[in-house]
Structure 1
Amino acid sequence: MTNQRKVVAAYFLSLDGVAEKANEFLTGWDDETDAAGQQLITTQDTVLLGRRTYDEWAGYWPTSDVEPFASFVNAAPKYVATSTPLDDAWANSHAITGDLADFVRDLKSRPGGDIGIHGSISVTRSLLTAGLVDELHLVIAPTVVGTGQQLLASLGPLKLETIHGTKTPAGHILADYRVLH
């Protein structure tokens, strides 16, 4: 039996599940949160992005010195769910042609490391619905935002198994889940 690559979605969330504009609610930082992020990207060699995230990130990460994520995301192949051509020339970026779920099924069957989704809520929701996300790695901030796009809203039932959970000195909950299919 061949081991398939995992699709791992990683997000900063508020306690009420808001995933967008994390920079506005994520306060404080600590070495444990940083180490968890560093450990996560050591298992990944490919990134899936939605078009809005791609457009935002293509203007930031190529010249960023925020390490180790800048080196990781700039070097990794990036596959973008979009219906329009990619304008920016961000290294190793490719538009996904055809159906997203079919593309990811094929990508999972190829050799390689884990496939990361970082910051693309619609891509994660689509792939959760299609049963293609294998793990969720969440940093949950001790903040209730009240409004904003929630990562898991309107998805229907999901069965999860806790892989790991801990509280950091900054008060974040690091929660890693396996999605049971």
Structure 2
Amino acid sequence: MRLVLQQFLSVDGVSQGPGSPDEDTSDGFARGGWFVPHLDEAFERLAATWLGTADAFLFGRRTYENFARDWPEMGDHPNARILNGLPKYVASRSLTTAGWNPTTILSGDVPAQVAELKRQPGRELQIHGSARLGRSLLAAGLIDELRLAIAPVVVGSGRRLFPDGGTAAGLRLLHSETTPRGVAVHVYESTGLPEYGTYGADA
């Protein structure tokens, strides 16, 4: 399976708490819900298309607990059947049980376990949110594709997907589009380490 990282971001790179004010208030974050005003039907159709290519999901603990709380209660929501029914994996050092079936807890050497999952047949193993997990797997060279949905807002504080001091990575743009409410969608393929050059140097 291909490992795909899907993230909602602000223009200043914040990934924390996009969906509601109380989604993730860790470290005193009080600006949650910044992505919601920019949702529209075009983006929801695109997100549903992405979801339809998943054969399994991978989460960090915090995102898993939020999804496990909310999605079983979604009833007839068109995405509920996919999220509730497909295999789920959660990377956690603290969880000992996970009730959102079918779920497998990954602990210990998570990158090695994810590499083994990638060798299994299937289309996509998707990471939704879970920025810290995504960063660690990008550093390990395991992310095949990044789907970044960038809302037209500067949040000003909060955890960022790519903080200072993070691992460098080369990317190749596969697709881009903008929704009517201004979400800029960029789909990238990982290419390993970035290239560097000097402007104006002779070829």
The alignment's TM-score, normalised by the length of structure 1, stands at 0.92
5 Å-filtered alignment, 1:31-42, equals 31-42=41-52
5 Å-filtered alignment, 1:71-86, equals 71-86=81-96
Q: Against the structure 1 CA distance between its residues 54 and 86, is the aligned structure 2 distance closer, same or farther, given a 3 Å change threshold?
A: farther
5 Å-filtered alignment, 1:1-181, equals 5-23=1-19, 24-26=33-35, 27-65=37-75, 67-153=77-163, 154-181=165-192
Q: Considering Cα pairs closer than 8 Å and 6+ residues apart, tell me whether 1 or 2 has the greater RCO.
A: 1
- Offset at residue 177 of structure 1 (A): 0.6
**Residue aligned with 1:60, SS:** helix
Gaps of 5+ in 1: none
- Offset at residue 66 of structure 1 (A): 7.0
On the 8 A contact 1:86/1:94 being kept in 2, the answer is no
> In percent, how many aligned pairs have the same letter?
36
Paired letter, 1:94: T
Paired letter, 1:158: A
- Offset at residue 98 of structure 1 (A): 2.9
Q: What does the per-residue CA deviation read over 1:40-72, in whole Å, with 9 as the maximum and x for residues that have no partner? A: 111111111111111222111111147333221
- Offset at residue 11 of structure 1 (A): 1.0
On the 8 A contact 1:80/1:93 being kept in 2, the answer is yes
Q: What does the per-residue CA deviation read over 1:73-104, in whole Å, with 9 as the maximum and x for residues that have no partner? A: 11111111112344442110110143111011
**Residue aligned with 2:72, SS:** helix
Q: Hey, what's the Cα distance between the residues in 1 that align with 2:107 and 2:122?
A: 20
Gaps of 5+ in 2: 20-32, 193-203
Task: Let me know the Cα RMSD of the aligned residues.
Answer: 1.4
Aligned residues: 177
On the 8 A contact 2:9/2:151 being kept in 1, the answer is yes
Computing the radius of gyration from Cα coordinates, the structure with the larger value is: 2
Q: Hey, what's the Cα distance between the residues in 2 that align with 1:82 and 1:142?
A: 32
Paired letter, 1:17: G
The alignment's TM-score, normalised by the length of structure 2, stands at 0.82
Paired letter, 1:114: E
Q: Hey, what's the Cα distance between the residues in 2 that align with 1:57 and 1:14?
A: 21
